[in-house]
């Protein structure tokens, strides 16, 4: 359930940041593996002393298997953490290698992606606050050239400063400064250029009535409110007015505090939409739908995990005027009695696209 909550909060946070432009994020090739390990899945790997996982994939064309197969080998440590990934082409030649440097807490401090000849194509380095796990330094390189760097300063758990550097790694490109009130609630965010000139301000204060401050050309107002309900659920509101005076309201309804039931996000403004997420009580089943301002479903997905934390089923549905709402991706997996994945089949528009078989070695 923890991973389900984390994924939802991450998605919501990214939505808010995209609206305000307040924070600075980078998205780099191969930085993320596209999924989050559940506690159950980690424990399953540890319990069975998994040393390596080999994935052998066969692709299909018009329903027929192609002769060539692809292979990926993941090497784990005794904590169940991945420390190396190797990918091989249809001829069995190594084409990509990913190595992971982890600290004692299991956080990835360094990741290198090299080609089959050992040349490092991508590398990123992170430093963490050992007590909170917050990232305090980040660097990303492509072909040994720095492409992105930023540092963060925290007071306790609160982010107070973020500095974005130019590609030389020394000159400041942007600086974000965050201030809090006496209740340690975020009050303002200031954005400065490399010379210290104020570029933009985000005001997080709400008036006593919960209304927004007046729009200004140099200020975006973001008002956050929290409302408890008698049934144990609660509602979060986020209202923002940009420098053009455009109002965006995002409302999130939580059925209960642990979010084991459902959550609803409604965004009103220039690009209105609704997102509804439903969780099963055990956190294994997740459903999410997106609707436009006319309540037409534009996208939905379904995800089912096993008791061991493996993804057993995943569906993606997308809407088009020609076909309506159609399942464009369907992934079905199988596991053995030990709770380890044995097979995964991926269908695209009801046609088998690829099939992966899993094998293991043990400590």
Percent of the chain at pLDDT > 90 equals 52
User: Residue 33's pLDDT band (boundaries 50, 70, 90)?
Assistant: very low
On whether residue 74 sits in a domain, the answer given is: yes
On whether residue 90 sits in a domain, the answer given is: yes
On whether residue 151 sits in a domain, the answer given is: no
On whether residue 310 sits in a domain, the answer given is: yes
pLDDT digits over 254-279, tens only? Answer: 766 555 467 788 877 777 889 898 88
User: Which of these three, 69, 103, 137, is where a domain ends?
Assistant: 103
On whether residue 320 sits in a domain, the answer given is: yes
> What residues make up the domain containing 301?
282-362
Question: What are the respective helix, strand and coil percentages of the chain, to the nearest 5?
Answer: 10, 55, 35
What CA dihedral angle connects 151, 154, 158 and 163, to 10 degrees?
-30
Query: How many domains, in total, are found in the chain?
Result: 2
What distance in Å separates the CA atoms of residue 341 and residue 322, rounded to the nearest whole number? 37
On whether residue 225 sits in a domain, the answer given is: no
DSSP 96-135: EEEEEEE-TTS-EEEEEEEETTS-EEEEEEEEE-TTT--E
- Above 60 in pLDDT, residue 359? yes
- Above 90 in pLDDT, residue 193? yes
Here the tokens at position 283 are 């956190």
**CATH code, domain with 350:** 2.40.128
Instruction: Enter the pTM of the model.
Output: 0.78
pLDDT digits over 296-326, tens only? Answer: 899 999 999 999 999 999 999 999 988 899 9
On whether residue 306 sits in a domain, the answer given is: yes
How confident is the model over 151-166, as a mean pLDDT?
93
User: Which of these three, 52, 81, 103, is where a domain ends?
Assistant: 103
On whether residue 274 sits in a domain, the answer given is: no
What CA dihedral angle connects 134, 188, 202 and 196, to 10 degrees?
-80
What CA dihedral angle connects 150, 153, 154 and 158, to 10 degrees?
-60
């Amino acid at each position: 359930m923890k991973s389900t909550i984390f994924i939802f909060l991450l998605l919501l946070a990214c939505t808010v940041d995209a609206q305000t432009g307040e924070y600075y994020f980078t998205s780099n090739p191969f930085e993320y593996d596209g999924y989050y390990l559940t506690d159950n899945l980690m424990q399953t790997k540890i319990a069975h002393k998994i040393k390596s996982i080999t994935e052998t994939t066969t692709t299909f064309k018009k329903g027929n298997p192609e002769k060539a197969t692809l292979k990926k080998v993941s090497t784990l440590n005794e904590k169940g953490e991945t420390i190396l990934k190797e990918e091989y082409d249809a001829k069995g030649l190594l084409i990509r290698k990913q190595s992971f440097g982890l600290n004692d807490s299991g956080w990835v401090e360094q990741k290198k992606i090299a080609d089959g000849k050992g040349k490092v194509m991508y590398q990123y380095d992170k430093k963490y606050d050992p007590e909170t796990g917050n990232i305090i330094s980040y660097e990303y390189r492509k072909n040994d050239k720095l492409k992105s760097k930023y540092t963060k300063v925290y007071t306790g758990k609160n982010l107070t400063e973020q500095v974005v550097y130019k590609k030389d790694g020394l000159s400041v490109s942007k600086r974000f400064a965050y201030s809090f009130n006496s209740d340690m609630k975020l009050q303002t965010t200031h954005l400065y250029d490399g010379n210290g000139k104020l570029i933009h301000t985000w005001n997080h204060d709400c008036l006593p009535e919960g209304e927004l401050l007046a729009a200004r050309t140099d200020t975006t107002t973001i008002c956050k409110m929290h409302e408890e309900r008698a049934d144990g659920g609660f509602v979060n509101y986020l209202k923002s007015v940009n420098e053009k005076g455009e109002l965006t309201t995002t409302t999130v309804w939580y059925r209960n505090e642990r979010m084991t039931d459902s959550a609803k996000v409604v965004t009103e403004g220039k690009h209105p939409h609704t997102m509804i997420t439903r969780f099963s009580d055990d956190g294994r089943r997740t459903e999410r739908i997106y609707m436009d301002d006319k309540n037409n479903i534009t996208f939905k997905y379904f995800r089912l995990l096993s008791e061991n934390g493996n993804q057993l089923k995943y569906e993606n549905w997308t809407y088009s005027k020609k076909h309506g709402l159609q399942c464009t991706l369907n992934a079905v997996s199988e596991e053995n009695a030990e709770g380890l994945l044995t097979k995964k089949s991926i269908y695209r528009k009801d046609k088998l696209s690829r099939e992966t078989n899993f094998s293991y070695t043990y400590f």
